[in-house]
Structure 1
Amino acid sequence: MKLIYTHENRLLVELAKSRLEVAGIAVKLKNEFAQGASGELAPSQAWLELWLERDRDYEHACQLLQDAEAEQIGWSCLDCGEDNGAAFDYCWQCGKTRPAVSKD
């Protein structure tokens, strides 16, 4: 088993877990109930951890999580230069469509 992701925010770990499971990658959560020991442990030792059940899935899992992170990055409108959040498919300033992201 290999550690693939850990974070203090449980929601982000659960989202990573869901993305990997949808892709057919078997994962396990560790430290689910470690919050109760947070006074005895360093805070980062109580974070929820996501572990791969098969080491051979590591490269594919890393790529999936990198792609997910890239989807959350904002973008700049090519027409007016306005910065837009990742959730916007259209520029909120001028209404132009978000440019397509190339997958090289």
Structure 2
Amino acid sequence: MKLVYTNENLFLVANARNILEAHRIEVLLKNEFAQGAIGEISVFDAWPELWLVNDADYEKAIAIIENASSHQGAAEWICNHCCERNDASFELCWNCQSECC
């Protein structure tokens, strides 16, 4: 297993997990509840971590996470099918699951 992503914010780690699982990359979330142990263990040892089950997925997983991170500050898009606004990081419409643009 290889560590693919870690952050002090559990929400960001869980989001990365959801993105990778949507691409059919199997991951494990470690330290999900470890922040309650801060003081007994190092702060950095309590950060949530995302680990790949299959090491062969490492390069693909890194590329996917970097791509998702690069959409920050990008423009929203409007679905051509249902006219719903979507965040730039969405590849599919959250409302009707149609592809971007």
TM-score normalised by length of structure 2: 0.72
Per the alignment, in what secondary structure is the counterpart of residue 4 of structure 1?
A: strand
Larger radius of gyration: 1
Q: What is the CA–CA distance in structure 1 between the aligned matches of 2:66 and 2:25, rounded to whole Å? A: 15
Structure 1's consecutive aligned runs of 4 or more residues displaced over 4 angstroms after TM superposition are: none
Question: Which residue matches 1:29?
Answer: 29
Question: Which residue matches 1:18?
Answer: 18
Alignment gaps of 5+ in structure 2: 78-101
Q: CA deviation at 1:88?
A: 4.6
Q: CA deviation at 1:36?
A: 1.9
Aligned residues: CA RMSD:
1.2
Q: What is the CA–CA distance in structure 2 between the aligned matches of 1:52 and 1:26, rounded to whole Å? A: 6
Per the alignment, in what secondary structure is the counterpart of residue 18 of structure 1?
A: helix
Alignment gaps of 5+ in structure 1: 75-85, 90-104
Percent of aligned pairs sharing the same letter: 53
Shift in CA distance, 8/87, structure 1 to aligned 2, threshold 3 Å: farther
Per the alignment, in what secondary structure is the counterpart of residue 65 of structure 1?
A: helix
Question: How many aligned residue pairs are there?
Answer: 77
Q: CA deviation at 1:44?
A: 1.1
Q: CA deviation at 1:58?
A: 0.1
Q: Which amino acid aligns with 1:5?
A: Y
